[in-house]
């Protein structure tokens, strides 16, 4: 089982990096598995702690993929990595071991602190659609154009039926990136 979260990490100079990543459930632990090359990967090697930020503000997911990475952060309680402000919950993570891999090393993490800040407000199809579209836009160069277009057309139904202002803004950011991709010369 995988949970999509916003993962914060820091480099040796304590500069924060924010990236959406899927956390893989492994009993009581979570596995962070960044593909090489990745700032998250470099940071986890330099400072073996992370925060999993659980948010229903899907603008953070869409923003990180469209160059909007300046989201407010604040100090965590037990780890030297800031968390995102305004999230529903966050888990402070300590790397306990690493499974090395050529493509995708796996950082096994123990939860050292889990805090809920606001209640879960129920499912929203547009939020799920934005997350799917964000994943699509992170894989544009790997997918056939027809698949991208047909998936976006399906996801757009949930957007038009169920989105609020935040979901519409996030969707617009991703569609702007899609337009740029369609207009760019291929090859
Ligand atoms: C919902 C979602 C889940 C993602 N999960 C992963 C992941 O598990 N591993 C990964 O390498 N990239 C994942 N990505 C793509 C990363 O967010 C993106 O490539 C990011 O730039 C990571 O590289 P960085 O640490 O250099 O920023 C995901 C993207 C989205 C939108």
Average pLDDT by stretches of 10, the chain with 187 residues: 98 98 98 97 98 98 97 98 98 98 97 98 98 95 93 98 98 97 83
Indicate which residue's Cα is closest to atom 3 of ligand 1.
Answer: 21
**Quick check: CB of 19 below 6 Å from ligand 1?**
yes
**Quick check: CB of 136 below 6 Å from ligand 1?**
no
What is the rounded distance in angstroms from the CA atom of residue 164 to the CA atom of residue 171?
11
**Quick check: CB of 33 below 6 Å from ligand 1?**
yes
Cα 19 to ligand 1 centroid, rounded to whole Å: 6
* Predicted pLDDT of residue 187: 62
What is the position in ligand 1's atom list of the atom closest to the CA of 32? 8
Cα 22 to ligand 1 centroid, rounded to whole Å: 7
* Predicted pLDDT of residue 121: 95
**Smallest Cα–Cα separation from 5: which of 33, 26, 28, 27?**
33
pTM comes to 0.97
Question: Considering all CA atoms of the chain, what is the largest pairwise distance in Å, rounded to the nearest integer?
Answer: 48
What's the full length of the chain, in residues?
187
**Quick check: CB of 11 below 6 Å from ligand 1?**
no
Q: What are phi and psi of 94, to 5 degrees?
A: -120, 130
Q: What are phi and psi of 5, to 5 degrees?
A: -135, 170
**Quick check: CB of 61 below 6 Å from ligand 1?**
yes
**Quick check: CB of 20 below 6 Å from ligand 1?**
yes
* Predicted pLDDT of residue 61: 98
């Amino acid at each position: 089982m995988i949970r999509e979260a916003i993962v914060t990490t820091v480099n040796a100079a304590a500069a924060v990096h924010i990236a959406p990543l899927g956390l893989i459930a492994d009993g009581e632990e979570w596995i962070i598995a960044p593909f090489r090359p990745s700032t998250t990967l470099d940071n986890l090697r330099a400072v073996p702690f992370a925060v999993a930020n659980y948010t229903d503000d899907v603008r953070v997911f869409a923003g990180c993929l469209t160059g909007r990475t300046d989201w407010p952060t604040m100090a965590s309680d037990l780890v030297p990595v800031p968390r995102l402000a305004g999230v529903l919950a966050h888990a402070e993570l300590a790397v306990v071991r690493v499974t090395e891999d050529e493509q995708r090393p796996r950082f096994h993490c123990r939860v050292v602190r889990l805090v809920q800040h606001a209640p879960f407000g129920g499912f929203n199809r547009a939020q799920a659609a934005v997350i799917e579209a964000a994943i699509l836009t992170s894989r544009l160069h790997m997918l056939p154009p027809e698949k991208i277009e047909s998936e976006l057309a399906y996801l757009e139904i949930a957007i038009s039926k169920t989105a609020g202002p935040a979901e519409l803004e996030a969707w617009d950011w991703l569609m702007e990136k899609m337009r740029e991709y369609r207009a760019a010369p291929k090859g």
